[in-house]
């Protein structure tokens, strides 16, 4: 699927957002080669904003630049996933101590609304995208309640790397197999909101730690299965695919 041309050719930011979104929505797959000329043609811009955007993505860790072989969408190993989740757990634990002191009834109402969205059945690819969007919004809202712009910026970067691993470990269209995991996830989210409602930093940290630990184990299992299976060869083949 080609990229849609940009209507406004004004800034690196637009190009950056378009390319970043293409990576995080699986349009570009881990290991896939990106060619500046092709990207510029598809987006209808010059090479300058493409190069600046690729530099930003490289700093964020979403792409890898190899001087002799080209530019590729980043991949994540199991060890890198473990390290990323360790940082995420520490970050959200810190956010918890701030959030319990700042949370309002309006904040809790917004989280309850997100819980309702997250409880919706996932039967199609559109359902899954909607669920992933609500899940990201749920955790981002927790960071916003904590009131730290820096923590939120770090979380956004961590989420991007976790999403790379999830793309690698995609469950495909087996939505029935997702149901038990999503039900467990929902219980964990409810425990997080309950602890926040009680203004208990200890309970909130425990709920977040349990949730993040389970998510890490689930992702690692799926990633290792993906790396051992035949679909891993398809991902490797993407390194020679033009974009």
CB 203 within 8 A of CB 99: no
243's CB contacts (< 8 A; 6+ apart) are 28, 32, 33, 34, 35, 38, 39
- Kindly state the tokens that stand for 61: 């860790």
Q: DSSP state, 169? A: T
The CATH class given to the 12-74 domain equals mainly alpha
φ, ψ of residue 135 in degrees (nearest 5): -65, -45
Question: Would you call 121 exposed, middle or buried from its count of C-beta atoms within 10 A (0-12, 13-18, 19+)?
Answer: exposed
Edge-to-edge strands, sheet with 70-73: 33-34, 70-73, 63-66
Question: Would you call 76 exposed, middle or buried from its count of C-beta atoms within 10 A (0-12, 13-18, 19+)?
Answer: buried
What's the CA gap between 70 and 225, in Å, rounded? 28
In CATH terms, the superfamily for domain 78-228 is GntR ligand-binding domain-like (1.20.120.530)
CB 143 within 8 A of CB 151: yes
User: What pLDDT does residue 215 have?
Assistant: 92
pLDDT tens over the chain, length 243 residues: 677 766 654 568 899 999 988 988 778 988 899 999 999 999 999 999 999 999 989 988 889 998 888 999 988 888 989 999 999 999 999 999 999 999 999 999 999 999 999 999 999 888 988 998 899 999 999 999 999 999 999 998 888 888 888 776 765 556 777 889 899 999 999 999 999 999 999 999 999 999 999 999 988 988 887 777 544 444 455 444 445
φ, ψ of residue 26 in degrees (nearest 5): 75, 10
CB 44 within 8 A of CB 6: yes
Per-domain residue ranges of the chain: 12-74, 78-228
What's the CA gap between 220 and 22, in Å, rounded? 23
pTM for this entry? 0.75
User: What pLDDT does residue 59 have?
Assistant: 84
Nearest in space to 192 (alpha carbons), one of 64, 103, 67, 128: 103
Please list the residues that pair with 33 across neighbouring strands: 72
- Kindly state the tokens that stand for 25: 């929505």
Nearest in space to 215 (alpha carbons), one of 60, 99, 82, 62: 82
């Amino acid at each position: 699927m080609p990229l849609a041309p940009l209507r406004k050719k004004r800034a690196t930011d637009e190009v950056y957002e378009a390319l970043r979104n293409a990576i995080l929505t699986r349009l570009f797959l881990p290991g896939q080669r990106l060619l500046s000329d092709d990207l510029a043609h598809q987006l209808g811009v010059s090479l300058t904003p493409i190069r600046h955007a690729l530099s930003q993505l490289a700093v964020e860790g979403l792409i890898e630049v190899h001087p002799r072989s080209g530019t590729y969408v980043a991949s994540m190993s199991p060890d890198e996933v473990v390290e990323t989740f360790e940082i995420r757990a520490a970050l959200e634990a810190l956010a918890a101590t701030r959030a319990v002191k700042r949370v309002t009834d309006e904040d809790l109402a917004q989280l309850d609304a997100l819980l309702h969205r997250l409880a919706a059945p996932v039967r199609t690819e559109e359902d899954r995208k909607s669920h992933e969007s609500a899940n990201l919004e749920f955790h981002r809202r927790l960071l916003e309640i904590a009131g730290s712009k820096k923590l939120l910026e770090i979380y956004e970067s961590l989420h991007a790397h976790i999403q790379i691993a999830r793309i690698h470990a995609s469950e495909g269209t087996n939505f029935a197999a997702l149901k038990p995991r999503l039900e467990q996830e929902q219980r964990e989210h409810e425990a997080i909101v309950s602890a926040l409602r009680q203004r208990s930093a200890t309970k909130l940290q425990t709920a977040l730690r349990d949730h993040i630990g389970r998510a890490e184990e689930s992702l690692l299992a799926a990633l290792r299965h993906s790396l051992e299976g035949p679909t891993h060869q398809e991902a490797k083949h993407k390194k020679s695919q033009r974009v």
